[in-house]
Amino acid sequence: MWKTVLRRFLVMIPQLFILSIIVFALGKMMPGDPFTGLITPNIDPSAIERLREEAGLNDPIPVQYKNWMVRIFRDGDFGKSYTYKMPVTSLIGERAANTLWLSLLTLIIMYLIAVPMGIYAGRYQNSRFDKAVIVYNFISFAVPLFVFALIVLLIFGYRLGWCPTTGSVELGIEKGTLAYALSKLHYMIAPAITAAVLRTTYTVQYLRNEVIDAKNQDYVKTARSKGVPVNKIYSHHIFRNSLLPIAAFFGFQITGLLSGSVFIETIFGYSGMGELFISSICSRDYSVINALVLLFGFLTLVGSLLSDIIMSAVDPRIRIE
Amino acid sequence: MSDKNIDVKAVASEIDEKALKEANEVTSFWEIIKREFKADKTATVCLILLIIIFATVIIGSLILDQKAVMKINLRNKYLPPSKDFILGTDIGGRSIAAQLLIGGRNSILIGFAVTMFTSIIGIMVGLITGFYGGKVDNGIMRIADFVSVLPATLLIITFVVVIPQYTMWHFIFIMTIFYWVGFTRLVRSKALSENRKDYVNASRIMGTSDLKIMLTGILPNISSIIIVDLILSFAGNIGIETGLSFLGFGLPPSTPSLGTLVSYARTPGAMSDMLWLWLPASLLILVMMLCINYVGQAVRRASDAKQRLG
C-alpha cells in the first residue's frame, strides 16, 4: 500500500517539474514585465534598466527559472500583483478559502443528490423513478455549465430573488460571527447547487450500473437466502461494493470542480480563485496568473494522486508492487 | 396442375434463398442506426431539429453580409425585439438575430474542426499504441496522462492571451492540444482488445503489413464506437468553445461565436430587463447540446446489440 503511494508521489515530481516549466515559459511569453507599467515619458530608461537588472530579468533564462523556483520554495514568494499592489500569496490566500468552501459545499450537495438517486434507480430498475433519473442524467450531462448557471441566476436571482446575484458575503458584517458564516452560506448556496446538479452525472450512472450488476452477484443471493433484510443488503452489502467507482472519481471531481469554478465564480460574482484568474487575465496581472495556473495545476495533480491512493486503499487488486 | 406445382417449388426455393441470404448478410451499421431512429421518435425529432438548425445557420450566414451585420449603428442601441429587428439589437445597434446566425455557424464549424483534428490524432495515436503496446504505448500514454491532469481551461485562456495576432486557427490548435487525450484513450483501449482477437493474429501470420491490419482490420471493427464518440465530442467541443468565448477568451473578437452573444448577459441590466441580448443564444446552445447528445445516445444504443430499441 505505502509502496503504491510512494510510487505515485515519485511520478508526480516530473509532472510538477514540467508543469512549472510550462508556466514559466508562458510567463516569459507574456508581453512586458513588472516594470513596463512604470514607464512614463518622464522616467529615465536607465533607471528601468537598473530595476530590471536588480530583479534579475536580464539573467539567462535557466538562471531566471532557477531563481523563480527557489523563491517559490524557500520563501513561498510568487511576486507581487501590480493591480492590487500586494503580494500574490496573500491575495490568493484570501480567495482560496472562498473557493475551497464553495467546492466543499458543492461536493457535499453533489453526493447528497447523486448517491441516493443512483442507488434507488438501480434498485428499482425500469420503474418510473429510474426513467426520470435517466432523463435527468441525460440533461445534466448535455447542458453546458455556463448556460445553466446563467439561467439559474436569471430565475432564482433576478426573477424570484431567492439568492444574491453577486458577491461572496454581505458587506458590513463583522468577521467571525455567526451572522457572517450564515451570510457566506447564503451566498454560496446557489452556485454550489448549480455546480453540484451538473456534476452528478457520472456518479449516478456508475452507481446505478453497479447496483444493477450487484443484484445478480452471488454474495447478494447468499445474503438474501440467509435472510438478511433487503434494505440491509442494499445499505451494507451492495452500497459498500459500489463505492469503488465513486472513490475512483473523487479526484476527477476535484479537478472538474476547479475548472468549473472559473465559470461559476465569474457568473455568480463570487470572489474566489476562478474569478480572480479571469479578472487578472483581463488586467494582464501576470504574476497572479502564473501563480494561479501553477496552483490549479498542482491541485489537479493532487486530485489525481488522491484518486489513485483511494483506489488502491479500497481495492487491493490495483496496488502496484 | 403441373404448372402450379412448379410455381410453388420455384416460389419456395426463392423464399429459401432469400432467408439464406438474410441469415448470411450482416446488417450494416447504418441500417441498424436507421432502425434505431425509427423506433425512437424523440431521436428522429432531434435529428430533424438539428438538420433544420444547421441548415438555417449555414445558409443564413452565407446570405448575410458579415460586414454589414457587424457595422455599428449607435442610433439603434439596445432596441427591444420589433419588426425591424426580430430579436432586438446589442450595444452597437447590431441585429441579434443576424449575429445569432453568424455566431452559430462559427461555433458549429469550430466544434466540427476541433472534433476532426482531435479524432484524427486520437485514431492514429490510439491505433499505434493499442497495436504495438510495450514501450511505445507506455511512453505515449505517460504523455497523455500528463496532458489530462493539466488544468486545461486555465492554460487555454492563458495561451489565448499570450499568443500575438491570435486567430481562429490558433484557437483550434490550442484546443486540439488539450483534448486529443480522451479520444486516444478510447481508441487505444478498443484496439488493445481487438488486437487479441483471432482475426488479427490470423492476418498477422498471413504476413499482412501492420498498417493494413490497423486500417482495414481493426479500424472498421471499432468504427461504430468511434462514430458515437465523434458525435458526443462534437457536442462537448461546441460546449467548451462557447464557454471559453463566453468568458471572452475563445474566438477572436472579429469572429463572433454563440458564447460571445451569451456573454452580453454580463452587461449591466441584461439580466433584469434586456433578456433578448443573451437568452436566444443560450437557448440555441441548449437545444443544440440536447439534440446532438440525444442523437449520440441513440447511435450508441445502436452500436450495442443489448441496448437496441429497434
CA distance B239 to chain A (A): 6
Residues 125-144 of A with CB under 8 A from B: 138-139, 141-144
User: What is the 3 state secondary structure string of chain B?
Assistant: CHHHHHHHHHHHHHHHHHHHHHHHCCCCHHHHHHHHHHHCHHHHHHHHHHHHHHHHHHHHHHHCCHHHHCCCCHHHCCCCCCCCCCCCECCCCCEHHHHHHHHHHHHHHHHHHHHHHHHHHHHHHHHHHHHHCHHHHHHHHHHHHHHHHCCHHHHHHHHHHHCCCCCHHHHHHHHHHHHHHHHHHHHHHHHHHHHCCHHHHHHHHCCCCHHHHHHHHHHHHHHHHHHHHHHHHHHHHHHHHHHHHHHCCCCCCCCCCHHHHHHHHHCCCCCCCCHHHCHHHHHHHHHHHHHHHHHHHHHHHHHCCCCCCC
pLDDT at A129: 93
Q: Mean pLDDT in chain B?
A: 85
CB contact under 8 A, B249 and A297: no
- Calculate how close chain B gets to A280, using CA atoms only, in Å: 11
Looking up cell 507599467, which residue turns up? Answer: A37
Instruction: State how far the Cα of B62 lies from the Cα of B57, in Å rounded to an integer.
Output: 8
Tell me whether residues A293 and B248 touch, CB distance under 8 A: no
pLDDT (0 to 100) of residue A95: 85
In chain B, which residues have their Cβ closer than 8 Å to the Cβ of A142? 235, 289-290, 292-294
Choose from A146, A155, A255 for mutation: most chain B CBs within 10 A. A146
Output the pLDDT for position A314.
Answer: 72
A281 and chain B in contact, CB less than 8 A:
yes
Higher pLDDT, B81 or B143: B143
Chain B residues within 8 Å of chain A (Cβ atoms): 146, 149-155, 157-159, 161-162, 164, 235, 239, 242-243, 246-249, 259, 262, 265, 271-272, 275, 278-279, 282, 285-286, 289-290, 292-294, 297
Distance between CA atoms of residues A282 and B131, nearest Å: 46
**DSSP, res A235:** I
User: A142-156, A298-312, B76-90: which range is least confident on average?
Assistant: B76-90
Closest CA to A26 of B164, B171, B162, B250: B162
Q: Model confidence over A23-63: pLDDT tens digits?
A: 888 888 777 666 666 666 777 777 777 777 776 777 788 88
Coil, helix or strand for A171? Answer: coil
Distance, in angstroms, between A5 CA and closest chain B CA?
A: 17
| Contact assignment for A158 to B155 by CB distance below 8 Å | no
Question: Is A259's Cβ below 8 Å from some Cβ in B?
Answer: yes
**Identity of the amino acid at B95:** S
* Chain segment B245-285, per-residue pLDDT in tens: 998 888 887 778 888 888 888 877 777 777 788 888 899 99
> Which one of B150, B259, B272 has the shortest CB-CB distance to A297?
B150
A84 falls in which pLDDT band (50, 70, 90)?
confident
Measured in angstroms, the CA of A196 and the nearest CA of chain B are apart by 18
Domains and their CATH numbers in chain A? 88-150+197-314 (1.10.3720.10)
A146 inside 8 A of chain B by CB: yes
Contact B239 A151 (CB under 8 A): no
Residue B132's CB is within 10 A of a number of other CB atoms, namely 15
| C-alpha span between A123 and A135 (Å, rounded) | 17
- Who among A139, A157, A262 is closest to B247 (CB)? A262
Is the confidence at residue A161, as pLDDT, over 90? Answer: no
Instruction: Look at A142 and B293 and tell me if their CB atoms are within 8 Å.
Output: yes
CA distance B297 to B292: 9
**How is residue B16 written as a grid cell?**
429459401
Question: B128-140, pLDDT tens digit by residue?
Answer: 999 888 888 888 9
Q: Is A30 on the interface with B (CB under 8 A)?
A: yes
User: Which candidate, A64, A35, A29, A31, places its Cα nearest to that of A49?
Assistant: A35
Is residue A8 very low, low, confident or very high in pLDDT (cuts 50, 70, 90)? confident
Q: Which residue has the higher pLDDT, B121 or B308?
A: B121
Tell me the CATH number of domain B31-309, given options 1.10.3720.10, 3.30.60.50, 3.40.1390.30, 3.40.50.12500.
1.10.3720.10
Within 10 angstroms of residue B30's Cβ, the number of other Cβ atoms is 10
A174 min Cα distance to partner chain B (Å): 29
What grid cell was written down for A290? 502564473
Of B50 and B150, the one with more pLDDT: B50
Residue B291 pLDDT greater than 90, yes or no: yes
Is A150–B243 a contact, with Cβ atoms under 8 angstroms apart?
no
Task: Give the span between the Cα atoms of B98 and B87, in whole angstroms.
Answer: 9
pLDDT value of residue B122: 93
Which value does ipTM take for this structure?
0.84
- Render pLDDT for B16-49 as a digit per residue (tens, 0 to 9): 887 777 766 667 778 888 888 888 888 999 999 9
Average pLDDT on A265-273 reads: 88
Q: Is the dihedral of CA B166, B169, B171, B175 positive or negative?
A: negative
Flag whether pLDDT at A121 surpasses 80.
Answer: yes
| Contact flag B262-A15 (C-beta cutoff 8 Å) | no
Percent over 90 (pLDDT), chain A: 13
At residue A170, what are phi and psi to the nearest 5 degrees? -60, 135
- Chain A's closest residue to B155, CA to CA, is A293
Would you kindly state where each structural domain of chain B is located, as residue ranges?
A: 31-309
Closest Cα to residue B296, out of B58, B27, B50? Answer: B50
- The beta-carbon neighbor of B154 closest among A29, A138, A277 is A277
Which A positions 162-201 lie with beta carbon below 8 A of chain B?
Answer: 165
In three-state secondary structure terms, A81 is strand
Residue B224 has pLDDT above 70, yes or no: yes
Question: What is the least distance, in Å, from the CA of A34 to any CA of chain B?
Answer: 16
pTM value is 0.85
Position B125 pLDDT exceeds 90: yes
Q: Which whole number is the average pLDDT over A174-191?
A: 82
Q: Which of B59-68, B73-82, B85-94, B115-124 is predicted most confidently?
A: B115-124
User: Which of A150, A163, A264, A273 is the best mutation test for B, with the most CBs of B within 10 A?
Assistant: A150
Verify whether the Cβ–Cβ distance B286 to A304 is below 8 Å. no
Q: What average pLDDT does this structure show over A82-98?
A: 82
Spatial CB neighbours of A157, under 8 Å, sequence gap ≥ 6: A163, A164, A165, A190, B271
Q: Are the beta carbons of B271 and A278 separated by less than 8 Å?
A: no
Q: Which of B150, B235, B247 comes nearest A266 by C-beta?
A: B247
DSSP state of A283: T
What is the pLDDT, as a whole number, of residue A321? 46
Single out the residue of B151, B65, B274, B262 nearest to residue A150, CA to CA.
B262
